Structures are given as structure tokens and as C-alpha cells.
């Protein structure tokens, strides 16, 4: 039986692949390389690789959980862990995701401050973004999935253009010497920045709400692999370009600055900014997905409808963005502190807990199914799920 507090919107497989590609890439490629380079210098790609591998493993576990789950995540968690523990976990995750959304929003702000205009009224410019997030919160998964699917080709083209602009210019030999100053910097990077990673396990919340096709795990892994290559390439190029100046890189230097450097904007103007802004839509898609998940968690915990849950989150984001953390640096420093431990919950524990819950729930369903062959739950699942239930069972 599905939890009535969750949206009944469903993702089809192609939307899932698009989301995986976008979520894997967006925030990791946006600003965090500029932070990592300060700790790990030219070896920053090792920090990125570490988190990418962790995230890919977490995705595999999440996808298996999605495949096995017969109900939504709230239902299987309640069945396996009980209501109190489920509410506690979801409440913690809701807070963590709201913090992550604030972080991403502040990065968007930082980008425009650094790359476009030093002075602009963020209190006004954030409004369209919040309206967009509110729509995402209310519309649910399917809307975001469709948006991801529509934007994917455009984002892919912008990636190709950025690649073409950059590829021939950086000195790739700057990868050497490897670990010149030992492993300390890399370890520091791994310890400090988990909040910026671990986005894919959020897909656990798609449990029971994906219209799966054949080999959807394999295809999802192809999508994440492609995305990982993009992330690693672009972040590594930043590490190589700024290899000798790692301590001087400011938060705000990103791929856009690198394109300016590589393409020689003195000849062509700032068209790199246009391309990068197109790419930036991927960050918005990810933020929308996180808002949608956070809304569903808040709905579940506080038993309220999507509109009020979404509105609450939007207000929280506005306050966090404009009042609570007046300077971005405060927020980033905060994210390098206690929230790191919540990142472990979100990145590592959530997929494992979801997988266990799926297995337990599947077993329970199977036993129940044998006892009540034409029982109420199977009837509801088939009626609500339509094609996906049939496809799911065929898998």
C-alpha cells in the first residue's frame, strides 16, 4: 500500500537516467572543485574520484532497492523500522536536504556575484528561483523528471561546447608530480567536503515510483559513468590550470573562469557565460529534485499537504539564504562541520537501509501475497501503478 502523503507521480526509466546524469554532475562540477583545490592542490582529482566511486556504489545499492521495492519508501521503512525510527530518520534527512539546498542556492548566488555582476539584489533575484522550487515541490517527481528529460540535450550540448573551448588549452602535464606534498591534502579534502557529494542516494525516494524497463540498472550505470567522466574531466582541468596557485583560488572560481582563461575572452567576448548559464540549469534541476524530496519528507513527518510543506521549505530557504547565514563563507564553514556526519547518513546509510527495507518488505509482500492472493494491497498496487507494476513484476 502506498503512503497517501507521498505524491503519486512516477518517473519513467528515461527520466530516471536523465536525472541520474544531471544529479551526478551538477553540484560537483559547479563550485566545490575550487574548495578542494585549496586542500588537495593538483591532486584534487583523487578526492573527486573517491567520492564519485562512493556515490556510484551507493547508486547501485539504491537501484537494487528501487528494483526490489514493492511500495514507496515511507511504507517499507515503516514496516521494517517502525514509525518512530522512520520519522526520526526522515526528519534528520529533511533538515539535511534543506541545508544542502541552501548551500546550492548560495553557490548560485556566489557564481553570479563572482562571474557576472558584483552588485545585484539577491533578495529579489532569489524570488524566481524560489517560485520554481515551490512548483517543483508541489508538482512532484514526474514534473522534475520531465524537466530533466527536456533539458538533458541542451545541457549535453553546453557540456560539449565547454569541452571544445577548453580541451586544447590546459597543460595536462600539471597532473605531475603526483602527491608532491604527501597524502595529507587529499585526506583533508575527503574529510571536509562530504556535504557537497552524495546526491544520488536521494533517488532512494523513487522507490516504488519508477516505471522500470529492462536492464534499467545497467542503463542507469552507463548514465552515471558518463556523468562521472564529465565531472572528473572538468574538475581536473580546474586543478591543472590552477595547480601552482591552489592556495589563492577563491570560492567562486569555476569552470566558467577556466573557459575564459582557455578561450581567451579578449578575442571573443563573454559568450562562455551564456554557455555556462545553460549548463547551470542542471544545478536547478538537482535543486528542484532535492526540494521535492525534502517536501515529501516534511509532508510525511508533519502530516501536512504538499503546498504547506513546500511553502515551509521555501520560507526556510529564504531565511537561511538571506538572514541566517549572512555570508556564504559562514554557510560553507558550517557545512564542513557537523553536517558532514549527516552526509554519511544520506550517502551511505540511506541506500543500505532502503535496500534492507526493500528486501524485508518484498519478503513480507511475498508471504502476504501467498496468503491473500487477491488481497487488498495487490489490488491497490495494480490499480495505482498501471504499467509499471506489470513491468516491475516481469523483472
Partner 1 sequence: MTESKKIRLYKIIAVVFVVFVLFLTGDGIKNPEINHRSMCIVMGIDGEESGVSASVQIIVPEPQGQGKQMIVTEKGQTLSEALDRINISIGQKVELGHCGLIILGEEFVKKPIFSEMLYLLSSGKTSPDVNLVVAKDIKAKEVLSKLNDLSKIVSEGINNIVAYADTGVHITRKGVLGFLSESFSAGASSTIPCMELGQDEYAGEGGMGAQGAASTSGAENSSGGSGESGGSGSSEGGKGEGQTVIKSMDKLVMFKDGQKVGITSTEGTRGVVWLNKRAVTGLILLKDVKMADKTVDYLSCKLISKRVKTTARFVDGAPVFTVKIAVKMSIDDKYEIADIVEKDEQVYYAVKDAMKQLIISEISATEKEGKQASCDLLDINEKFNKFCHKEFVEYGDVLDSVRFEYDITVNIL
By C-alpha distance, which of 94, 71, 96, 82 is closest to 301?
A: 94
The grid coordinates of residue 338 equal 557537523
Element (H, E) at 391: helix 387-394
The grid coordinates of residue 303 equal 502530516
> Which one of 257, 287, 291, 346 is in contact with partner 1 (CB under 8 A)?
257
d(CA 42, CA 50): 15
Query: Which residues neighbour 117 within 8 Å (Cβ) at sequence distance 6 or greater?
Result: none
State the burial class of residue 257 (Cβ atoms within 10 Å of its Cβ: 0-12, 13-18, 19+): buried
Q: What are phi and psi of 125, to 5 degrees?
A: -65, -20
Quick note: the x/- pattern for partner 1 over 40-59, rule CB under 8 A, is --------------------
- Residue 99 or 138: which CB sits closer to partner 1? 138
Eight-state DSSP code of residue 11: E
- Residue 245 or 344: which CB sits closer to partner 1? 245
Distances (CA, A) of 160 to 154, 156, 163, 166, 259: 10, 6, 5, 10, 12
Q: Cβ 172 to partner 1, closest distance in Å?
A: 11
Quick note: the x/- pattern for partner 1 over 155-184, rule CB under 8 A, is ------------------xx-xx--x----
Q: What are phi and psi of 10, to 5 degrees?
A: -130, 155
> Which one of 53, 150, 229, 248 is in contact with partner 1 (CB under 8 A)?
248
Q: Cβ 245 to partner 1, closest distance in Å?
A: 6
Quick note: the x/- pattern for partner 1 over 198-237, rule CB under 8 A, is ----------------------------------------
Q: Is 265 an interacting residue with respect to partner 1 (CB under 8 A)? A: yes
d(CA 185, CA 179): 9
- Residue carrying C-alpha cell 524537466: 147
Q: Is 249 an interacting residue with respect to partner 1 (CB under 8 A)? A: yes
The number of residues that bind partner 1 (CB under 8 A) is 38
> Which one of 85, 154, 245, 329 is in contact with partner 1 (CB under 8 A)?
245
- Residue 258 or 331: which CB sits closer to partner 1? 258
The DSSP annotation for 293-336 comes to HHHHHHHHHHT--HHHHHHHHHHHHHHIIIIISSSHHHHHHHHT
> Which one of 53, 82, 85, 125 is in contact with partner 1 (CB under 8 A)?
125
Q: Is 119 an interacting residue with respect to partner 1 (CB under 8 A)? A: yes
**Applying CB under 8 A, which part among 15-23, 220-228, 254-262, 324-332 lies near partner 1?**
254-262
In the complex, the residues that contact partner 1 under the rule CB under 8 A are: 114-115, 117-121, 124-125, 127-128, 131, 135, 173-174, 176-177, 180, 241-245, 248-250, 252-253, 257-258, 260-262, 264-267, 270
Amino acid at each position: 500500500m502506498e503512503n497517501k502523503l507521498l505524491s503519486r507521480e512516477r518517473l519513467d526509466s528515461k527520466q530516471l537516467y536523465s536525472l541520474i546524469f544531471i544529479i551526478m554532475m551538477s553540484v560537483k562540477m559547479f563550485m566545490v572543485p575550487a574548495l578542494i583545490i585549496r586542500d588537495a592542490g593538483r591532486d584534487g582529482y583523487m578526492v573527486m574520484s573517491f567520492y564519485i566511486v562512493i556515490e556510484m556504489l551507493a547508486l547501485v545499492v539504491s537501484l537494487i532497492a528501487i528494483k526490489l521495492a514493492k511500495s514507496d519508501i515511507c511504507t517499507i521503512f515503516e514496516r521494517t523500522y517502525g514509525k518512530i525510527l522512520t520519522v526520526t530518520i526522515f526528519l534528520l534527512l529533511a533538515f539535511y536536504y534543506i541545508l544542502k539546498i541552501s548551500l546550492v542556492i548560495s553557490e548560485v548566488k556566489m557564481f553570479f556575484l563572482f562571474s557576472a555582476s558584483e552588485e545585484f539584489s539577491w533578495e529579489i533575484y532569489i524570488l524566481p528561483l524560489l517560485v520554481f522550487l515551490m512548483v517543483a515541490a508541489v508538482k512532484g517527481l514526474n514534473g522534475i523528471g520531465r524537466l530533466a528529460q527536456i533539458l538533458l540535450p541542451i545541457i549535453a550540448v553546453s557540456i560539449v561546447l565547454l569541452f571544445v573551448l577548453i580541451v586544447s588549452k590546459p597543460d595536462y602535464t600539471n597532473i605531475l608530480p603526483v602527491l608532491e606534498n604527501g597524502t595529507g591534502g587529499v585526506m583533508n579534502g575527503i574529510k571536509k567536503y562530504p556535504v557537497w557529494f552524495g546526491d544520488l542516494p536521494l533517488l532512494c525516494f523513487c522507490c516504488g515510483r519508477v516505471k522500470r524497463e529492462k536492464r534499467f540498472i545497467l542503463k542507469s550505470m552507463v548514465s552515471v559513468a558518463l556523468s562521472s567522466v564529465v565531472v572528473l574531466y572538468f574538475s581536473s582541468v580546474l586543478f591543472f590550470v590552477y595547480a601552482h596557485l591552489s592556495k589563492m583560488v577563491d570560492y567562486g572560481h569555476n569552470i566558467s573562469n577556466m573557459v575564459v582563461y582557455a578561450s581567451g575572452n579578449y578575442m571573443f567576448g563573454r559568450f562562455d557565460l551564456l554557455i555556462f548559464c545553460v549548463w547551470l540549469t542542471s544545478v536547478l534541476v538537482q535543486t528542484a529534485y532535492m526540494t521535492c524530496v525534502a517536501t515529501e519528507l516534511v509532508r510525511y513527518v508533519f502530516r501536512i499537504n504538499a503546498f504547506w510543506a513546500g511553502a515551509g521549505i521555501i520560507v526556510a530557504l529564504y531565511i537561511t539564504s538571506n538572514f541566517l547565514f549572512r555570508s556564504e563563507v559562514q554557510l560553507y564553514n558550517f557545512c564542513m562541520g557537523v553536517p558532514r556526519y549527516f552526509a554519511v547518513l544520506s550517502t551511505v546509510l540511506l541506500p543500505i537501509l532502503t535496500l534492507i527495507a526493500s528486501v524485508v518488505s518484498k519478503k513480507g509482500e511475498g508471504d502476504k501475497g501467498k496468503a491473500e492472493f487477491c488481497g487488498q494491497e495487490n489490488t491497490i498496487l495494480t490499480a495505482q501503478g498501471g504499467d509499471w507494476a506489470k513491468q516491475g513484476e516481469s523483472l
